[in-house]
Amino acid sequence: MTDERAYWLGFSLVPRIGPARFDLLRAHFSSLCSAWQASATALRGAGLPKDAVELLLYHRQRLDLQEEMQRLEHEGVQMLTLDDSGYPSLLKSIELPPPVLYVRGELTPADEFAVAVVGTRHATVYGRDITRRLAGALAENGVTIVSGLALGIDATAHQAALDAGGRTIAVQGCGLDRVYPARHHALARAITASGALVSTYPLGTKVDAVNFPPRNRIISGLSLGVVIVEAGERSGALITLNYALDQGRETFAVPGNILSRASFGTNRAVQRGEAKLITTVQDILQELNLTMITEQHAVREHVPDSPAEALVLDCLTVEPLSIDDIVRQTQLPTAVVSSTLLVLELKGAARRADHASYVLTR
């Protein structure tokens, strides 16, 4: 009998079965096993178009799912599904999260405090220096650095996190049985030892330009906020910025020389109000409520969730809510609400919007 997890893998190996169509199949069939074995008529009834059905029928006849599972094990790659407790909570919160995430290395609860640092492949001396300063300082403050392993700003951000003794996650636009660019093999090994390489693409997926915009969606999805250091007018980093805006993430940009092509995109993002101008790491830490990250880690480890926390969290949204409104909605005493909000602040789950109102931060 084939393990149910193998069917998650199976569907990820079939072209044109993305998150939306995967959701259709899960909603229509009693199990992924049933969906995998369904007839063409049943698959069309689930909402799959004809071409997707034909591809699914073609690939499932040729795939040995147990063999594919063994291949993952042989490569040392872990598969996380949406149903797994280790699946990143930040990524799970975005619209249509990827059903399967491939991981080489380890994702930990500490990675809930993550910030993406991205930018152009054609970084200037200024851009590299600022990236080292910001990414290094963030890592020293317990923040996981997320980026795309590309040349330029991305690689500098990963290396700065490693040099600071911190964690870093690299999101690839290909299968984890290869590294792109090839010159970053040593960097990829170091990242695996102090974080993780991740991809939504199965083993064997070659490097292809069409894979990189979706990969940028994962970079922002894994992060509380996105920092653009340098980006030209058509830089892929701006795609990451747009995904971050769509996902409700905080967005930041480092101001650059107005005559430098490498800064045209970042300066324009600030000008348009798409990203907050930052000059120091404290700008990022304060905006993301990460100035007390050590305390937040400690509280998450030692203070269990309570019914009061659940009630208060259920009330909070991204719109400010006053303490009086929370008391009214939860029917909890004011003192209990106040103390619970303090704990949630330390956990990084809520933050003060003004002197008497709070918002959800995750």
The 10s digit of each residue's pLDDT in 172-196 is: 999 999 999 999 999 999 999 999 9
What domains sit in the chain, N to C, each tagged with a CATH number? 1-74 (no CATH), 105-287 (3.40.50.450), 293-360 (1.10.10.10)
**What b/e readout covers 138-160, taking b as 16+ CB neighbours within 10 angstroms?**
bbebbbbbbbbbbebbbbbbbbb
Which residues have a Cβ under 8 Å from the Cβ of 127 and sit 6 or more positions away? 119, 120, 152, 153, 156, 229, 230, 254, 256, 262
Contact predicate 220/249, CB 8 Å: yes
**What b/e readout covers 283-307, taking b as 16+ CB neighbours within 10 angstroms?**
bbbebbbbeebeebbebbeeeeeee
Contact predicate 121/144, CB 8 Å: no
Phi, psi of 54 (to 5 degrees): -65, -40
Q: Give me the amino acid identity at 212.
A: F
Burial class of residue 174 (count of CB atoms within 10 Å of its CB; 0-12, 13-18, 19+): buried
The confidence score (pLDDT) of residue 335 equals: 86
Q: What is the C-alpha separation between 235 and 113, in angstroms, rounded? A: 26
The confidence score (pLDDT) of residue 32 equals: 96
Q: Which residue positions in the chain have pLDDT lower than 70?
A: 1-2, 292-304, 318, 362
DSSP code of residue 151 = T
Q: Give me the amino acid identity at 349.
A: A
Contact predicate 284/252, CB 8 Å: yes
